[in-house]
Structure formats: C-alpha cells, structure tokens
Amino acid sequence: MKCSLILLMAFTLFLSCGHEVSEVNGSAFEVLPTTTYNKLQQKYSSLESFEYGTARVKNNNGWGVINTKGKEVIKPEYDTIYPLIHNYRVTEKSSKYGLINIFGKVTIPCKYDEFSTYMDNGYFPFKLHDKWGFVSEIDDILVQFIYDSIALIEDSVFVAKLNGFEGLFDYTGKTLVEPQYDRILYRIFSDGNVSFAKKGDNYAIINSKNELVSKCEYSDLAIPHGEYLTISSYNYDRF
C-alpha cells in the first residue's frame, strides 16, 4: 500500500511538471498563434506539422523540435530528425543515430551506425560495429549486437540473420528456430499462424507456437505476387 502511494505521488508530480503527452496535432499554421507562426516562418526554412504537442523545424544549423508555444525543446543541430513513431523520434548527426522522446529529451545520443523501424515494445533496433542488436529507450542493451540483419515481425519475435543465415528469435535473444535457413517467411498469410523456413527451393513448416515441425521437404510453393502457399491440401490445424 505504501509503495503504491509513493508511485501515485511520483506520477502526479511527473504530470504537474508539464510532462503529460499533449493531444495537439495539426499544421503549424493551425496550432500556433498567428504572430508566433509568422515569426517562426521567418526563423525556420521548414516548419513541420505538430505531432502530440511538438513539431520538427529546420534552419541553417539543422533540424530541431519546438513545442506549441513555439519554444525550442531540441536545438536545431541535427542533420535529420525523423517523424514521431510510438512517442520517439530517431535523430541523425554526422551519420550516427540516436533517439529523443516525445517531450524532446535526448534519451540515446547519436552513436549508432544505423537504425531500423521499431515497435511499441520498448526494444529499439540499432546497428553498431556492423552488427544489429536492441537497446532500451535509455540505451541499456537488451539483445546483444550480434546479428547481421534484423527484420521486425511483432512484439514477441523477430527474424534475424546470423552468420549468413536467417533464424527466428524472441526478444530475450532466445533462439526459436536455428539460423540455418535462406529465409524465414513469418506468418505470411492473414488467415493462419503457420510460418515457413526456406532452404534452397524447399520449405519447412513452423507452427503457431513458433516451433519447427518439419524438415525442408515441401517444394510446392509459388511466389508470384509476394509469398503465398499453393499447398491447399495441407491441414494447418494439426499444428
């Protein structure tokens, strides 16, 4: 009970300090007072739309972020600031990448070599020294930088290439399907939870529990318009 009260007080203090997420969205012309908008138009070469209370701006020094009062919360010093995704923006400076949160606070400095699309699960994929891994929003390593490539699937698993071959992993780094396949085709059909592992011209089956349940023995697959299965007689329910 005491612990819950402390957490509630901390959350209330957090909101009272002006850190609540703003619902303000729309063009700068719609959001800002006319006089403020006119001044900012003269100050910045680019004035982007507001996304939950903040907007990207650009001048001769680079990209920054302003709030609904027209004040800079991130100075325009970045080569690129990407649009808001799941309350974060990826930043780029001198070909290195980092992260800022929805309030305009730098949570990860520009130190990584590359970034990839991330989901709303607290795992951010970055590349460091030619290998991919995952970090938290405060730059703690969550999954080691060991992968040649990463393809995000959903908030519980990801496909990655290790030593030249693809496998299936969860977000603790646990291997679900060994990386020994040319491709992992993860749940490519909207009407089923079965996945496939491809090696050469043949396919193995991965069931809905992300378990490999066959050898690479099926070849009756066609991929004319994206990957889809032509084995109509196979009973997926058995998995």
pLDDT over 60 at 135, yes or no: yes
Q: Is residue 163 part of a domain?
A: no
* Residue 191 pLDDT level (bands cut at 50, 70, 90): low
Q: Is residue 156 part of a domain?
A: no
H-only helix segments in the chain = 2-14, 28-31, 34-43
Strands 88-93 and 96-101: antiparallel
Q: Is residue 176 part of a domain?
A: no
User: What does the pLDDT read at residue 20?
Assistant: 55
At 16, phi and psi to the nearest 5? -70, -20
Q: Is residue 34 part of a domain?
A: yes
pLDDT over 90 at 88, yes or no: yes
* Residue 13 pLDDT level (bands cut at 50, 70, 90): very low
* Residue 234 pLDDT level (bands cut at 50, 70, 90): very low
User: What does the pLDDT read at residue 44?
Assistant: 97
Write the CA distances from 21 to 7, 54, 104, 222, integer angstroms. 19, 10, 11, 47
pLDDT over 90 at 78, yes or no: yes
Which domain covers residue 24, as residue numbers?
A: 20-112
Q: Is residue 46 part of a domain?
A: yes
* Residue 179 pLDDT level (bands cut at 50, 70, 90): very high
pLDDT over 60 at 17, yes or no: no
Q: Is residue 75 part of a domain?
A: yes
Q: Is residue 229 part of a domain?
A: no
Q: How many folded domains does the chain comprise?
A: 1
Whole-number Å distance between alpha carbons of 65 and 57: 6
192 Cβ partners below 8 Å, 6+ apart?
Answer: 236
- What is the average pLDDT across 200-228? 73
- What is the average pLDDT across 211-228? 64
Q: Within 13 Å, how many C-alpha atoms sit on residue 228's CB side?
A: 8
User: What does the pLDDT read at residue 36?
Assistant: 97
